[in-house]
Structure 1
């Protein structure tokens, strides 16, 4: 009965519009009260859930992304992307994919990526004659690459939700090739749709222009290299690399680009504080939820139900992907990771999937959920910028959805795509 209160209560709160963090907390407290346990158990689990040194990396990574967002990095990345691929058919769409990928590596946040790139690229594409739905779909799907980048705070959340089964360095290395696969799939979708709609080709400006635009964008992109090299070489821990990234972003935007004003700095800091508060609240409350999931053996029961349907690893992984996708349409990334990792990670490990590979799988599923109503955060932001309805965009979303699903299938069923680079770099 307590497990029913936990699960049904959680879904009921979501349906009536209660914020995710409070839906998790209220359902957990209901189950605790039914078991006649002290309410102090909930607060003890919340405190212990947030009391981890590695979590310091989360506000630092978030603050780095906000500084880059307000510091004018986006404009330089857009200029470089246009010079590089703007001459291809549907050149602005291709440029959009490249720019979103590069900025996603800097910000580590699909939402920040859509906000920054969308505000620049979507109006530009509409002025050049591209349809609004195409501009929005290209932007919102390309921005999802940010979830796999080294600056993504969701990587930190997953490593801690996995209970020490995977290192941050391994997961950062594992995300590189899937991010490239996702970018290639997005480029293919953008090109095919542009070709079918007859969008024009541009003119190649020459390698000299490409070189100059790359030189202007390179200092901003170097933050990714700094984080990867620092962590994989052992010079920094993940938390230290995040702090160094903040100092680098400040030095870059204040002293080199000279594009960050004091007012923008305050706004970036305020946004980072707000986002950090939301994430840490989710982490603390989800720790209580996770404690109850473990207490009631939810992972074991779920595994038994799946095994009753099929014991083929391909079928098990397909079922896990479908469930993660469905939950991702209702929950934010952090909540999905924190709730689902303790349940599905043991199941996938039982059928031969590495915890590192599962981390990339759950991040991709969560990213896919960001572009799917009713939550669909990136989708709603893109539609607001493009001044187009969600319904209009959803009618033409399928080629881009297909690109994401293709990337997810490759990562799920071909372990080498996520496991090869960690095995080489962390030998």
Structure 2
């Protein structure tokens, strides 16, 4: 008997995670990808035929257990990730590094050693973590915003500005006054509150397409799977024996099809079936937030005090929130990746103005003059993630149409839109498909 076959639309982290799990179980998968570059919203971008940069800087943490498991499974070398203790460094204002100890001592000792925080700040931070732990990180009010959580736990202005607000915007990509306090509590539960290993920063030393998508494609290919890049699927139609894909030159009926695209592409594919209108409308109702990445190639000899530093931002003069020294992470020396999460006043700036503003901000907050960039690049993902607000309706992996599935970082989960939530959705989808294949023979 021939092995079952599954079609997956989208070669991002969710689709490839699903494909790897299915291939591991002996299922023959075909992955269709519109672009010629794998990774979806976490992919490499080529600059002037000489440089490779990511379309956005993604931070992995030790709590990302499914992604790190799949990296090991597909043969990714541990050296492709820089393992760093959780370090929050804002030049001239804050330096907090978690200790290599079990929870809660890793955070307590880190706070004792922290520079830039007073005793009131330290006690307030510990109070909030104890307050959350006492409630098992489950909030009584599911509609609470992060801003209200910080007020409820009496967080100081310094903690808000230097720690909680930057962490929230980085994790949820949504302004603090609108972000879901419950989702933020889930992130804290599995990172800061879970020990030094879980809160450890895992920063990619390679581009995001090479980190997982390329090894995943090799893994799938060895197991008789197929990857068809540059191949757009425009529609899905129920037919006798399964589902037909508009744009699939094989013209076959697939028993199982996984839609693993960005949500705004998934809704159009669902609507094309004629059987998923309500689900398509639910996905269309999700609002999105942007992420802007500003790359500054400052040249040899330029180095940040840490591989990742925080910046005080929030207005057009200081738009960036985090800066990554790619030279310390295996990239070109002096290449800085400056990140602006969520919407804000920076969106009114032209690209040249934004580059100048970020360069000036970096100079001010480092306290020294910087050379003019040898080259620069602004990458705008206008719909990088869904807006992670309380009470939003996130769909599950099943659809009303038998054999049609969803995978993606926007699906219902305890996490915001991260690489881990994308991978977990793909694994969960593969598990459900394997259960159906097993039950029906």
Class of the TM-score when normalised by the shorter of the 2 chains: under 0.3
Which structure: greater helix fraction?
1
TM score, norm. by length of structure 2: 0.23
TM score, norm. by length of structure 1: 0.23
